[in-house]
Chains A and B, each alone.
Chain A
């Protein structure tokens, strides 16, 4: 079987009990890997380039504070030929954007009592110019998706459109951040389980 990113990042060894359990959900395992492949080795880069996708992944990994994910996507960024400055720029954006989620607002009504305020991330001017308008807008959107997705509104999508993203491109980066939210949690959960044998 080809190498599986979740197994690699979670440290699941061939022949181990956890591998057998993951193989008990073989379709989920196979298609989680295929989701990763579709997002990072896309058939078309017309709406979102591979480099843009990897840069967003580095930002998502950083926002979750998961060293194993930051190392993995950081390596991919270097291999994809990103401008040398990006590593530092993304690290600075992560530092400025990091928080605790989920927070956000509900539609006005009984749930308003559960509204939890928190920051809306605006990227720094220096980082915006280093990343360009498209990626800067994508990072701002990504922060909302990671930490306060219930604040989502059409105005957030309009900012992406204004920065040059197509509807298909917005679907791609939404899937990307949402997929990473899944992948990072599966890896984190499996690592905890592996370190705590019954």
Chain B
């Protein structure tokens, strides 16, 4: 039987980058919750993700989802050494802003704002884009993320020098590389398998 591309329900399409919570509507049928086996639950990693249409769609390949998720969590949540969480989130938000993923940018701009407490700077990145002036350290992180996100990749020794100049050590530079590279993975899934929706007003 041929699978169907879904017609999304009537919804309000977000037309700007925002830190608001957004919904996400799939373009292909997610697995039904009642059909999830132990293998699928292992793929979801967190049982709560069985409620998410996005993760129930990706769990059609449970092994890849499991390893994607565990890669993601370590890059962003591992507290040992390297870049502070706020700036890993900044790299994720800048990558998402440059690729144009409104959903991913909303999630990681929220995290960046929460962990850095620099709400106005994060909002300026969302409003004005990746060329906006934040401060020397954040500018270097955003520029490195953009260079890694461009195709062909334009990341070069000048970006490494700029990151060192603003105080990043080698482990922190690797965190920038990991965070920006990972969002080139995440953005492409979020953008191409469904679309964001503004939550319904209560």
Contacts and interface: CB of A to CB of B under 8 A. Distances in A.
Nearest to B180: A185
A182 interface: yes
B151 A111 contact: no
A11 interface: no
Contacts of B129: 114
A27 interface: yes
Interface majority SS (helix, strand, loop, mixed), chain A: helix
A140 to B, nearest CB: 13
Contacts of A186: 177-178, 181
Contacts of A144: 192
Contact of B174 (A27, A66, A193): A193
Interface in A1-39: 17-18, 21-22, 24-28, 30-32, 34-35, 38-39
Nearest to A148: B100
Interface residues of B, number: 72
B116 to A, nearest CB: 21
B58 A182 contact: no
B192 A152 contact: yes
Contacts of B173: 193
B33 interface: no
B90 to A, nearest CB: 16
A154 B61 contact: no
Given A111-B16, A149-B188, A189 B171 contact: no
Contacts of B52: none
A172 B42 CA distance: 17
A170 interface: yes
Category for how many chain A residues contact B:
35 or more
Contacts of B16: 109-111
B177 A167 contact: no
B28 interface: yes
Contact of B177 (A43, A111, A190): A190
Contacts of B193: 152, 157, 170-171, 174
Contacts of B98: 102
Contacts of B29: 167
A102 B100 contact: yes
B13 A107 contact: yes
Interface of B: 2-8, 13-17, 27-29, 57-58, 60-61, 63-68, 70-71, 73-75, 78, 80-82, 98-102, 129, 148-153, 155-157, 159-161, 164, 170-171, 173-175, 177-178, 180-182, 184-189, 191-193
20 contacts: A24-B81, A25-B174, A31-B66, A31-B70, A34-B63, A35-B67, A38-B61, A102-B99, A108-B15, A109-B15, A150-B100, A167-B3, A171-B58, A172-B60, A175-B65, A175-B68, A178-B186, A178-B189, A185-B149, A192-B160
8 pairs of A and B residues whose beta carbons are closest in the complex: A109-B15, A150-B100, A189-B177, A27-B74, A185-B181, A152-B192, A182-B185, A28-B74
